[in-house]
Chains A and B, each alone.
Chain A
Amino acid sequence: MSKILVVEDDIGTASEIEAALIDHGCAVIQAADGKDGLVKAISGDFDAIVLDRMLPGGVDGLGILTALRAASVQTPVLILSALSAVDERVRGLKAGGDDYLTKPFESLELTARVDVLVRRRSGPVQETVLRAGDLEINLLTHSVTRAGRVLDLLPREYQLLEYMVRHSGQIVTRTMLFEEVWHYRYGEATNVIDVHISKIRKKVDLPGLVPMIRTLRGSGYVLDATA
């Protein structure tokens, strides 16, 4: 079970985040102001930290982040902010944040991103082949096979599928997919991403094979390797 520290001053938002993470199977510790957050973040052993950008108590989100990184605490941090401006985001990531989420957000978006951060912690492995069930991706040649059959994917489809395979078994939201592959911020991306995924699905979930790409009601997908 992953242990998550949530540093958020707004009680309502904090309890929503806590509920979402607990439902997702995480253990949650709360901190309601900057000072408390910093103390807990440094002393505790967390798998990830959800950090509000604006905090009372002298130290704000970026302050905590800077202090943490200065103290060589490398716990992955997801920054929450009401500010969506690009330079805000850049500042957050520069200060050592690993991901940035703008309020308001859906709980699925939060848990999916926390998941990615927690898994990433297990360290990047230098590999040349990604496998998920009978799906195989060669990272050097960019060739993709399912059950031995070569799949003909367009470059963007390859990038989307690679991301899903890297996070197989985890929920990836449409926004995450879009940001990963296109590197822009665009709120209206969701419906169009669905079309991309349905094209990939046609190529991956060939007739006669067990479907791997599962749509989650709401806003995400799971690549299910056990299928």
Chain B
Amino acid sequence: MRPLEILKTTSFRLALAFLLLFGAAAALLFLFVDWQMHDFLDKRSDEWLQREMQSIERLPADQVTARLVIRAKDTASIERPFSLFDGHGNQIAGNSVDYPQNPQFDTPFDFVDLTPVRVHYRGLLHRLPDGGVLLIAQSLKEQREFRETLENATLFASIATALLGLLGAGAIGLGSMRRLDAISDAASRIMQGDLTQRLPTGRAGGDIDRLAAVVNHMLDEIERLMHEVKGVCDNIAHDMRTPLTRLLGSLERARRRATTVEEYSQSVEEALEEIQGILKTFSALLRISEVEDGLRRSGFVDLDVKTIARDAVDFFEPAADERGISLALIEGNDEPAIVSGDPSLIFEAVANLIDNAIKFTPEGGRAVVRIDKHSDGILIKVEDTGIGIRPEDAEAVLRRFYRAERSRHAPGNGLGLSLVSAIARLHGMKLQIDTPVSGTSISLTIPQPAN
């Protein structure tokens, strides 16, 4: 455990900041209450002093002394002494209180009586018509005790609050430090290459949990991409090794056996063909990544999907015809289907779909290209009566180099549909592969610009 680290955590600092803020607010509140109470008590005793003074003043002069004498006998009056002095400050009657050191007349004031013990009083002096001075006072002991109790309670409460607050802040800081430790541990394991690790998420669903969940999603995606990249690399290696091995074999055979120029030239011819095939695969890969980079979006223009589909169909018609497959274009309406895109790429996508349809449909079959207006845009659908795609392959066929079991014997590099998928993504098209009982149906939906 690193106690100093706790002090650095955001949670701890936040808790501490709140504690200080709360403490300051409480102190202000206390000061205000104290001040108000003091004021209130002072006023009350001043009023009492004035009231008593008035009631004694109303007495006839001869009764004042008698009244004070009677009152002095009541022990309860020690807290609230009444006393009569002559003009020189000598006590005549009443409770035993010294003449105040700082006499003020007819206005309440604080004074201290030193004999027999030190007592604080609030008192009122009044000069009577006969020259005597009347003192009415109230001991401040009770008031002082009350304030002391209040102050002590407040002090105790403050210390307790501060301690609890610090403990709480520490606990929160510790908790968040543990979370962060767990997260950074997981992160460093991931950085060391263990992509299966995930950040720990609590059940509470707090902000850190939400963040961790988002990061975990990102990690899922990264892991998937890493797998894909690895898969692509493996596939490239595999797909390149096969033709390269053939190339090597045929060149070695030529070296062993060929004796005439014709024989050599024959093997050079074979070698050239192999290399062209390899180059084509590389070019296709590069094209896919070029399309995926989105660089070609700058070449977008408004184009008519129908024109492109017509061009593609009349381009492939002789090839379909030669294979005994009928290729037809069905247009849903007569309006042009204008979308924004790269004409060559859209042609390429449609051409790849038609090419596949022709390639994987046996003689006597049918391939249909449909263009229709759809609620989401323009629908291009290529259907055939061929060998079809198994439902479980529907996603995999979009992967680079993936070749379904049934298509292995046909020529191709397993990149056609990957390219279609990349072109679809570039154009924001939806690519959907349906797997009807017989044949294949692949559709592209191109969003139409709102006009």
Asked whether A192 is an interface residue with its Cβ less than 8 Å from the other chain, the reply is yes
B269 near A217: Cβ-Cβ < 8 Å = yes
Decide: A186 near B295, CB < 8 A? Known: A86-B344, A192-B319, A195-B322: no
B318 near A104: Cβ-Cβ < 8 Å = no
Chain B: minimal CB distance from A200 (Å): 10
> B343 — which chain A residues lie within 8 A by C-beta?
184
B269 near A184: Cβ-Cβ < 8 Å = no
B284 near A182: Cβ-Cβ < 8 Å = no
Decide: A187 near B351, CB < 8 A? Known: A182-B311, A182-B315: no
> B308 — which chain A residues lie within 8 A by C-beta?
184
Decide: A85 near B347, CB < 8 A? Known: A182-B311, A192-B315: no
Chain A residue at minimal CB-CB distance from B323: A195
Chain B 275-316 per-residue mask, 1 if CB under 8 angstroms from chain A, else 0: 010011001100100100001101100000000100100111
Q: How far is the CA of A187 from the CA of B322 in the complex (A)?
A: 21
A86 near B296: Cβ-Cβ < 8 Å = yes
A184 near B287: Cβ-Cβ < 8 Å = no
Asked whether A196 is an interface residue with its Cβ less than 8 Å from the other chain, the reply is yes
Chain A residue at minimal CB-CB distance from B311: A182
B348 near A184: Cβ-Cβ < 8 Å = yes
B299 near A184: Cβ-Cβ < 8 Å = no
Q: How far is the CA of A90 from the CA of B351 in the complex (A)?
A: 23
The A interface, classified by DSSP as helix, strand, loop or mixed, is: helix
Q: How far is the CA of A85 from the CA of B318 in the complex (A)?
A: 29
Chain B: minimal CB distance from A205 (Å): 16
Asked whether A84 is an interface residue with its Cβ less than 8 Å from the other chain, the reply is yes
A184 near B290: Cβ-Cβ < 8 Å = no
Asked whether B342 is an interface residue with its Cβ less than 8 Å from the other chain, the reply is yes
Asked whether B355 is an interface residue with its Cβ less than 8 Å from the other chain, the reply is yes
Chain A: minimal CB distance from B435 (Å): 25
26 residue pairs from A and B, CB less than 8 Å apart: A84-B287, A85-B295, A85-B296, A85-B298, A85-B299, A86-B299, A86-B344, A87-B296, A87-B298, A104-B279, A156-B314, A182-B311, A184-B311, A184-B343, A184-B348, A186-B344, A187-B283, A187-B284, A187-B287, A188-B348, A189-B315, A192-B318, A192-B319, A195-B319, A199-B318, A217-B269
Which residues of B pack against A, CB within 8 Å? 269, 276, 279-280, 283-284, 287, 290, 295-296, 298-299, 308, 311, 314-316, 318-319, 322, 342-344, 347-348, 351-352, 355
Report, nearest first, the 9 A-B pairs whose CB atoms are least far apart: A86-B299, A185-B344, A184-B347, A87-B299, A195-B318, A184-B344, A195-B319, A192-B319, A87-B298
